[in-house]
Amino acid sequence: MLEPKDNPNPRLVVDPPGWLRWIVSKRVLGPEADAHVIQKRRDKADAQRQKQGEPHVVEYFHQLDDPYSHLTALILATFASRYDVMVRVHLVRAAGGASQPEFEKLAVWARRDAALIAPHLGLSFPADAGTVPEAEHQVLAGRALATEPDDIQVERIAAISEALWSGDGSTLSAAAEKGAGVAELEEALDYGSSRREELQHYSGATFYYGGEWYWGVDRLSHLEERLRELGACQAPHEDLIAPRPEVELRDVDASGLRLDFYPSLNSPYTAIVFDRTISMKNACGIEFHHKPVLPMVMRGVPAPRPKARYIVFDTRREGEAAGVPFGPIVMPIGTPTRRAYSLMPWAKAQGKDEALMSSLLRHAFAMGVGLHKNAGMRKAVEAAGLDWAEAKKIIGNDDWKPIVEEHQDEMVEGLGLWGVPSYRLSGPDGEEDLAVWGQDRLWVIAAEIRRRAS
């Protein structure tokens, strides 16, 4: 279904009036994309730390049944030794609910994704691990860690997590014998989960430092860079622990492969990866299919305010690291997206659907142009090299609906993905399709294109 008839998200969220769109974009989400606001917040946090004579305290939230937490556990001791920080470890439960919709699908995806990226980062994931470890083993692992001092948890967490995901019950039993009881484990999980909620986050494998969140090995480089700027790195000449691999395919002929790309107009993450995706496919000559889908909120996926704020903030630093402008923003959720998509078949007939999507994203997420107004839509259309006078005659039609609905069915039902942007790489014959989700997986697609093309 293109849009559910009974969308669980409030109408004001799916189709906000102009005044609310302005408030959300400028007052609620806008500051999270403002470099000056972010730097001011960082300076204030460090000034307060110095005034109180405190060390650099990094809180780490470990979810036992989370594959990304396993990868993070493998590098935690290295991180703690390389930086002048005090790491406080919290055990947490899965947040679930609105912050982690499609929870069962998420577990399957996370297990697959963690195993996929591990070798590229010099890490390992047990090949025979299930979607989640056995419940009994999770209890044993939690008991082995729950009441230990922070430095001991940091030292032991990798071995405990390895035994947990490998199904090594004997090692876990031996470790739990000298550890906490079940009641103490429950108390630790309650405390860690409430602490994370207090700090307004929802994921496992996360670091919290000085008012900002960093998710697992994927965002550790941002935390490392921040600590280095503060002079808190004890080995400044060492490489980052988990640098993101480069995307470089200029010397690759991928004409025998196919890439399906599923972007969304209301996705901040899509905004910072769209042009990079187009550049990548142009560089290697891969067969490319541009398949826009509706924003998650319009498809009935909830987006709580803390999560929305984190996504905008995270997009800002991810874009900055990639050299992509982000902010000011005006979210194009609802009617602007429908009107924009109504122009896609027309633009595609002229070979300019990619140019139009790029322009729309740039205007909404890097120039602060409101696409809910005709003046804003006109700017984006004309910047894509299209005629606004022609566009006005067809904008608002329904021709796009079955096309986008087909894209969504492919992505959600066919690939088991629901977030954007998503990718599917196909070919050559005999190779299984590779489907990944997220702008931070573009490097995975690039690495796999290089391997398959060779």
Residues 339-398 pLDDT 10s: 999 999 999 999 999 999 999 999 999 999 999 999 999 999 999 999 999 999 999 999
Q: pLDDT tier at 302 (50, 70, 90 boundaries)?
A: confident
Distance CA(85)–CA(437), nearest Å, equals 32
Omega cis (within 30) before 328: yes
Higher-confidence residue of 100 and 220: namely 220
The number of beta carbons lying within 10 Å of the beta carbon of residue 287 is 14
Domains 55-229 and 258-453 share a fold: yes
The winner for highest mean pLDDT among 6-10, 96-100, 244-248, 444-448 is 444-448
Residue 303's pLDDT is 80
Residue 99's pLDDT is 78
Instruction: Write the pLDDT tens digit of every residue in 132-147.
Output: 999 999 999 999 999 9
Read off the amino acid at residue 153.
Q
- CA atoms lying within 13 Å on the CB side of residue 199: 22
Q: pLDDT tier at 104 (50, 70, 90 boundaries)?
A: confident
CATH of domain 55-229: 3.40.30.10
The DSSP 8-state label assigned to residue 233 in this structure reads B
Phi, psi of 167, rounded to the nearest 5 degrees: 75, 30
| The pLDDT of residue 195 is above 80 | yes
| The pLDDT of residue 437 is above 80 | yes
Enclosing H/E stretch for 60: strand 56-63
CATH superfamily of 258-453: Glutaredoxin (3.40.30.10)
Q: pLDDT tier at 287 (50, 70, 90 boundaries)?
A: very high
Q: pLDDT tier at 256 (50, 70, 90 boundaries)?
A: very high
Domain ranges of the chain: 55-229, 258-453
> In sequence order, which residues have a C-beta less than 8 Å from that of residue 190 and are 6 or more positions away?
none
